[in-house]
């Protein structure tokens, strides 16, 4: 557990500096498969489920005023015990501690990259001017669900940290195989029905101000979601059966 007085990632505050190694003067831009595997194993050792990679398009960079191209997304699953706790200020605090604890390891990943000759810098996970989810969507490795959550194949209870880097040859995905989720969600809607705060308008747009997920840790929509209850692969199989039935009708 981290020290609770530790001043970590906070809204409206600059990114804390816990790097032990400086960025190299002339950063390299090609990583070997072996080194990438080593980084993945280091992330897994600290409980992360895996890494996704975003290559930011020119249009995207212009839209968000971003001057970097290549992004690592270090994913971890929010703990089941915490997710199942009733919402409260205490739960909100525990969720924040979990987030901070994972975040500390991301400095170690940046240092690993810097030591090996690459530029590596954390992206502030709570920055006001940057949409982490928009950057995540550039990975073609996730989708935004009807409950406004970022779903990766690792799980719907994924949270993540990001590092931008000089490395150009990361295994970026060009196509998103998860786009079927939108069609599945259109047949479900459990998250909207069960939201205790009515945090969706009549057009089913998510109303951030009414959602208490960040304040008190409401996870009702997550707990009810088939992607949480059954996992990505099982829901995909169910969707494929459903699609076949529809085609045969
Ligand atoms: S987290 Fe809770 S309040 Fe927010 S949308 Fe989901 S069910 Fe509604
Ligand atoms: S509860 Fe249903 S509609 Fe909502 S995100 Fe999950 S699958 Fe999609």
Distance of alpha carbon 67 from alpha carbon 76, whole angstroms = 26
What are the residue boundaries of the structural domains of the chain, listed by start? 33-165, 180-248
pLDDT band at 210 (very low <50, low <70, confident <90, very high): very high
Tokens for 55?
Answer: 């290559």
Q: Is the CB of 211 under 6 A from ligand 1?
A: yes
Average pLDDT over residues 74-86: 95
The torsion angles phi and psi of 54, rounded to 5 degrees, stand at -110, 130
Question: Which mutation among 205, 221, 222 tests ligand 1's pocket best, with the greatest number of atoms within 8 A of CB?
Answer: 221
Q: Is the CB of 146 under 6 A from ligand 2?
A: yes
Predicted pLDDT at 128: 78
Residue nearest to atom 2 of ligand 1 (CA): 218
Residue 229 predicted with pLDDT over 90: yes
169-172 long-range Cβ contacts below 8 angstroms, 24+ apart: 169/29, 169/30, 169/31, 170/31, 170/36, 170/53, 170/55, 170/70, 170/72, 171/36, 171/53, 172/53, 172/54, 172/55, 172/139, 172/140
pLDDT per residue as tens digits for the range 1-48: 444 455 788 888 889 999 999 999 999 999 999 999 999 999 999 999
Predicted pLDDT at 8: 85
Judging by beta carbons within 10 Å of its beta carbon (0-12, 13-18, 19+), is residue 41 exposed, middle or buried? exposed
Task: Identify the nearest ligand to the CA of 230 by its number.
Answer: 2
**Minimal CA–CA distance to 106: which of 5, 17, 10, 3?**
17
pLDDT per residue as tens digits for the range 119-139: 999 999 998 778 899 999 999
189 CA closest ligand 2 atom index: 3
Predicted pLDDT at 1: 45
Question: Computed from CA positions of residues 3, 73, 43, 106, in that sequence, does the dihedral angle turn out positive or negative?
Answer: negative
Tokens for 133?
Answer: 């989810």
Beta strands 150-152; 142-144: pairing state: antiparallel
- Please name the residue that has the structure tokens 């076949």: 244
Q: Do residues 175 and 241 lie in contact, with contact meaning Cβ atoms separated by under 8 Å?
A: no
Q: Do residues 24 and 114 lie in contact, with contact meaning Cβ atoms separated by under 8 Å?
A: yes
């Amino acid at each position: 557990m981290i020290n609770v007085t530790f001043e970590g990632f906070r809204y409206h505050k600059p990114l804390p500096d816990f790097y032990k190694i400086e960025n190299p003067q002339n950063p390299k831009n090609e990583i070997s498969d072996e080194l990438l595997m080593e980084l993945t194993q280091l992330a897994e050792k600290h409980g992360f489920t895996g890494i996704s990679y975003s290559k930011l398009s020119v249009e995207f960079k212009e839209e968000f005023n971003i001057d970097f191209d290549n992004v690592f997304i270090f994913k971890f699953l929010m703990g089941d015990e915490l997710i199942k706790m009733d919402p409260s200020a205490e739960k909100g605090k525990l969720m924040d501690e979990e987030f901070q604890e994972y975040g500390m390891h991301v400095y170690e990943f940046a240092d690993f990259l810097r030591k090996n000759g690459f530029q590596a810098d954390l992206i502030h996970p709570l920055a006001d001017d940057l949409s982490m989810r928009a950057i995540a969507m550039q990975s073609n490795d996730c989708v935004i669900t009807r409950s406004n959550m970022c779903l990766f194949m690792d799980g719907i209870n994924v949270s993540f940290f990001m590092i931008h880097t000089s490395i150009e040859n990361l295994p970026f995905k060009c196509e998103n195989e998860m786009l079927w989720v939108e069609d599945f969600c259109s047949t479900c809607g459990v998250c909207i029905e069960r939201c205790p705060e009515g945090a969706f308008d009549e057009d089913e747009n998510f109303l951030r101000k009414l959602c208490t997920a960040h304040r008190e840790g409401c996870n009702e929509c997550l707990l009810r979601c088939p992607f949480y209850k059954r996992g990505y692969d099982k829901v995909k199989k169910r969707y494929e059966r459903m699609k076949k039935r529809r085609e045969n009708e």
